[in-house]
Amino acid sequence: MEDIRADFFGAAPRYRFIGTLGRGGMSVVFHAEDVELSSEVAIKVLLARDEIAWGDTLERLKLETKINWKIRHPNVARVFDLGRAGDFSYLTMEYIPGEDLARILESRGSLPAREAVPILRQIALGVGAAHKLGFVHRDLKPSNIMVDRAGVATVLDFGVARALSGRRRTGPGIVMGTPAFLSPEQASGQEVGPSSDVFSLGTLGYMVLTGSLPFTGPHPLAIATAVITDPVPEAPLERSGVPPPLVEILLRCLRKDPAERYETANQLESALALLPLPHPTVRGVETLPVHPVDDDDLLSVFEDHPREKPRQEDRPRHAVITEVLPVQVPSVLVADDDPVVRTLLRHHLEAAGCLVFEANDGIEAVEATESGPDLVLMDIKMPRMDGLDATRIIKTRPEAAALPIIIMSIIRDRSRLAFAIQCGATEFLPKPLDIPRLLETIERVLSFRGLRLPLHASSAGAAGPA
């Protein structure tokens, strides 16, 4: 290893060695400084030596680079460049401080549902972005997931990914991936689709929540056979206290028949997003495990402001409107301090058949949810209390645990996205809003609550950014 490090960095003077991040069968990953740009990077260096293995591995490295450039999602690590130094081919990637999920589980054993679900949602979002573009990861496992101190999860290593259309890089019957995280169709050497990644995500979730794998064996072939034939052991889930709705989601992911699973990682993420998980109360209970907010300060901010009630005609109470309108009409709370945005959203939502009421800031939004809306659209940046703090307070109430909250923000980065998920947000949409996408998201979220938009999105007024 010392020789490899010395040879590579001797041939690549642009990079200064800082440390070794990990090693696999085909490559080693170094932590280094890009001296020219004064920035830290991760460098994946190929270890293949014979000509055939070298050529195949280099092709996979090129494929990983091309796939990454197309995905460009906050929960997927960015690849910067592909190069060659001396006898080594390498690619430079974004350096993510933190630990991979394998090391976290090694030290902690397992994670509680309240901490595990935000991580699983972020992984599903990153993998779902690949599915949208027609790629399957094929090697999802804890060592390919980085989690930083803020709880931000990032998917690594699309080196064995495959496009859903086009030339196969492996012949029929050739198995790619790690045995314990294979889907049954992968273990059988069959064609794979997005639902194969869903199975791997189910295995990953099972391990994160229980500290054990659902399928084991003394050697890789035995493990692959267990994946194909053995039922999922449910006892570890029960012993770990995994909430029953979450158990149902995992068991659906781990069904042998791909047609019985979630079709894509995004469908799985939607199911996880709408789980009514327990959240910490504002006082007397442990705060969220990452990005802590001082609950006493938060409560004092909430209570120090007078609780003026908006005029009834501006924000009708849900308890009142249900007496005069059909129950199937969904009610949506729009919380945004920009009156232009509120007016535009009201126009599109009412045209889609929703009942809309409004809040001017975070504190008013918290109060307005007491009237029981079916869905909340919440901007992050608002006076008196921002949207994330408001979301967190709303989610401390048991009756609001399942309330869908869609966060809106002009800034979208992985840290903000992760914090929104940790606070209990169901979805995160960037501003300016794409109205067709917004209505499609609302319709999808409402469908999980047994509701629908009374009018089709196509009749909801002219589309345009908000």
CB 176 within 8 Å of CB 138: yes
> What is the C-alpha separation between 18 and 15, in angstroms, rounded?
9
Q: 61 near 158, Cβ under 8 Å? A: no
8 Å CB contact between 12 and 92: no
**15 beta partners:** 34
State residue 422 phi and psi, 5-degree precision.
-65, -30
Pairing relationship of beta strands 331-335 and 375-379 according to DSSP bridges:
parallel
Check pLDDT > 80 for residue 46: yes
Residue of 238, 248, 245, 251 whose CA lies nearest to 278: 245
Nearest CA to 368 among 312, 407, 423, 406? 312
* Number of other residues whose CB lies within 10 A of the CB of residue 330: 23
Q: Cis omega before residue 292 (within 30°)?
A: no
Give the pLDDT score at 267. Answer: 92
What per-residue confidence (pLDDT) applies to 292?
Answer: 37
The Cα–Cα gap between 426 and 378 comes to 11
Identify the active-site residue in 3, 34, 100, 139. 139
The answer on pLDDT for 17 being more than 80 is yes
Domain segments of the chain as ranges: 2-94, 99-273, 295-459
Distance CA 387, CA 377 (A): 10
Rounded to a whole number of angstroms, the distance between the first and last alpha carbons of the chain is 54
Q: What is the mean pLDDT of residues 410-432?
A: 89
Q: What pLDDT is stored for residue 391 in this prediction?
A: 93
For residue range 197-208, list pLDDT tens digits in order. Answer: 999 999 999 999
Q: Which pLDDT does position 354 carry in this prediction?
A: 92
The C-alpha atoms of residue 383 and residue 429 are separated, in whole angstroms, by 20
pLDDT, tens digit, 9 for 90 and up, residues 73-126: 889 988 888 888 888 888 898 999 889 999 999 999 999 998 999 999 999 999
Pair 146, 100: CB distance under 8 Å: yes
**Distance of alpha carbon 119 from its chain centroid, rounded?**
7
Q: Please determine, for residue 279, whether its predicted confidence score (pLDDT) is greater than 70.
A: no
Average pLDDT over residues 413-427: 89
How is domain 2-94 classified at the CATH fold level?
Phosphorylase Kinase; domain 1 (3.30.200)
Provide the CA 169 distance to its chain's centre, in angstroms: 28
Fold for the domain defined by 295-459 = Rossmann fold (3.40.50)
Q: How far are the Cα atoms of 5, 323, 372, 396 from residue 319, in angstroms, in the given order? A: 68, 7, 8, 21
H helices present in 282-434, as ranges: 295-304, 318-321, 339-351, 362-368, 387-395, 414-423
Over pLDDT 70: what percentage of the chain? 80
Q: Is-catalytic flag, 257?
A: no
User: DSSP label at 214?
Assistant: S
Helix (H) / strand (E) element for 378: namely: strand 375-379
Report how far Cα 308 is from the mean position of its chain's Cα atoms: 37
What is the C-alpha to C-alpha distance for residues 336 and 353, in angstroms, rounded to an integer?
20
CA distances from 108 to 8, 265, 291 (A): 35, 26, 19
Mean pLDDT lowest among 166-170, 231-235, 265-269, 412-416: 166-170
The yes-or-no verdict on residue 35 having pLDDT over 90 is yes
Q: Give CATH for domain 99-273.
A: 1.10.510.10
Instruction: Give me 461's structure tokens.
Output: 């007024």
CA–CA separation, 464 and 456 (whole Å): 16
Q: Are 329 and 372 in contact (CB under 8 A)?
A: no
For the segment 6-10, the average pLDDT, to the nearest whole number, is 92
* Residue 329 and residue 353 in contact, taking contact as beta carbons nearer than 8 Å: yes
**Residue 33 has which token pair?**
């400084």
pTM (two decimals)? 0.78
| Residue 25 pLDDT > 80 | no
CA distance 208 to 119: 10
Q: Is the pLDDT of residue 276 over 90?
A: no
What CA–CA distance (Å, rounded) separates 136 from 155?
A: 13
